[in-house]
Structure 1
Amino acid sequence: MKRIVFCLSLMLFSSVTAHAGVIIGGTRVIFEGGKKETSISVNNPDSSPYLIQSWVESVGGKAAPFVITPPLFRLDGQQQNILRILNNGSGMTEDRESLYWVNIKSIPSQAEGKDNVLQVAIKTRIKLIYRPQSLKEKSPEDVVEQLRWTRNGNRLQVNNPTPYYMNFYEIKVGGKKLQDPQWVAPFSTKEYSVNSADSGNITWKLISDFGASGKEHHAIL
């Protein structure tokens, strides 16, 4: 009996992540400082079971100060389970947010009596943002106007003087969207390549703590 399994990594930004029959109850996790744990749901609306494996890692792929329980389990059809994310309390930076990845891999069951079946294991990555207790009274949207934008020819820079991760939904230069704007880390500067022919003001939107698009902001260069 032969079986082929492929893994795909997806970055998803919709309000609910759905793939291969498995639904994950969110596109990001905000872990508030002072709490020992938070959670996210995994739902299987299909009739067949999946094997669910999950773990947390740093942006660089190294181990993170979080563990997920259960790390490996069978999720039967029409069932839901809750992943608990626990903070082990080591190595956390308390003057700014920290970014990690929650990885959730869903492996489908093999259809009985079928040989040479192509099976696809899907790995989804969602952001886990640790927000220290001293910062929990505000969100990135509350301080987004502090971003500073500068441009020199075909280089656009954004400086983030705040302790929050600014996750961009979109950035536009003269009404034209930049591809894959990603984020700018706390107390950091990020640079983008832009078309030197594109001119005009900068507009941008953030992704909220709930995975939705925020309001549009403007900067005059």
Structure 2
Amino acid sequence: MLLAATLSPPARAGVTPEASRVVFPAGETEQSLHVFNANTWPVLVQAWVDDGRIDAVPQESTAPFVTLPPIFRMAAGDQTSLRIIYSGANLPSDRESLFWLNLYEIPGLLKHQLDDARAVVVTMRTQIKVFMRPAGLPYGPRELPKRLAFSLAKAAGKLTLRIGNPTPYYATLSAVLVKAGGHSQQITPDMVAPLSESTLELDQFDQFDQFDAQAVESAEVLFSLIDDDGTPVIESVKAELAP
């Protein structure tokens, strides 16, 4: 079970990791992550790695990782180094695998709050991505932006954008801007898994049939891709017109 919670100060996530993702390069079995308590009160933190389901509890996790310490106390303004250890498992060798680190915080209570029957403790849960990167991949992650494929296609009378990811890496897109035929639309797609594709509707292009074909064929896509350091990499490509 998650650590029990009954009472609390204001609700906001104050336990903050130093990075938005953890990457295990090929051959690495352990990574460290600094965690900071930005609150003005102490907290108790429970840490574990799982498949990302927000309703999952630590005991249900089958992820091949151990976090040390699994439970720890942090004073106001304190920081802790969290160790994430890969315990070994048969994972795909031709692509990355994705897991999620959970940081579940329970705020401490002031002495007078213990006697306040109206006080309620609100717990917070932060999740960040954990990528396992196997050895022997054909090229490095820096190749990812230029290998993504963007194409426009007609589906049920609407214009859609297909994002193809033929690479062995997860593509985390923070924003995509499509420009075609004098129209534009910004969308926030989900992460695109390795060797897969995602299709998104462009609802601001409802008059697809009225577009000049040449204008659509010259469509441009600008996208922001988050790299291993959590930094956005901005690229611009010409979108293909799918049959």
Q: 1:143 to 1:51 in 2, by over 3 A?
A: same
Alignment root-mean-square deviation, CA: 2.5
Separation in 1 of the partners of 2:119 and 2:13? 15
Q: Who is 1:28 aligned against?
A: 21
1:119 matched residue in structure 2 = 121
Contact 1:31 1:129 in 2 (8 A): yes
TM-score when normalising by structure 2? 0.76
Query: After the TM superposition, which residues 28-67 of structure 1 pair with which residues of structure 2 at under 5 Å, given as runs?
Result: 28-59=21-52, 62-67=61-66
Which structure has the larger Rg over C-alpha atoms? 2
Q: 1:165 aligns with which of 152, 170, 173?
A: 170
Shift of 1:4: 4.4
Q: Which runs of 4+ in 1 moved over 6 A?
A: none
Please list, as runs of the form range in 1=range in 2, the aligned pairs for 1:1-221 lying within 5 A after superposition.
Answer: 3-4=6-7, 20-59=13-52, 62-114=61-113, 115=116, 116-135=118-137, 138-139=140-141, 141-153=142-154, 154-174=159-179, 175-178=184-187, 180-195=188-203, 196-197=205-206, 200-221=219-240
In structure 1, C-alpha distance between the alignment counterparts of 2:91 and 2:43, rounded to whole Å: 33
Distance 1:76 1:193, change over 3 A: same
2: CA distance, partners of 1:72 / 1:136: 39
Question: How many Å apart are 1:118 and its aligned residue?
Answer: 3.0
Q: Residue 146 of structure 2: SS of its match in structure 1?
A: helix
Match of 1:11 in 2: none
Instruction: Name the CA distance, whole Å, in 2 between partners of 1:58 and 1:78.
Output: 30
Identity between Structure 1 and Structure 2 (%): 31
Partner of 2:213: none
C-alpha deviations, 1:100-154, integer Å up to 9, x for none? Answer: 1111111100121121223321100111111113249721x42322222222233
Structure 1 residues 189 and 137: alpha-carbon distance in aligned structure 2, compared to 1, 3 A threshold: closer
SS at match of 2:145: helix
Relative to total residues, which structure has the larger strand share, 1 or 2? 1
Tell me, what secondary structure is at the counterpart of 2:120? strand
C-alpha deviation, 1:88, in angstroms? 0.9
Matched positions, count: 207
Question: Which structure is higher in helix share?
Answer: 2
Distance in 1 of aligned mates of 2:138 and 2:72: 33
27-36 or 151-160, which deviates more: 151-160
Gaps of 5+ in 1: 9-18
Given the two structures, how large is their TM-score scaled by the length of structure 1?
Answer: 0.83
Q: Which amino acid aligns with 2:26?
A: G
Tell me how far 1:59 sits from its aligned partner: 4.3
1:171 is displaced (CA, Å) by 0.9
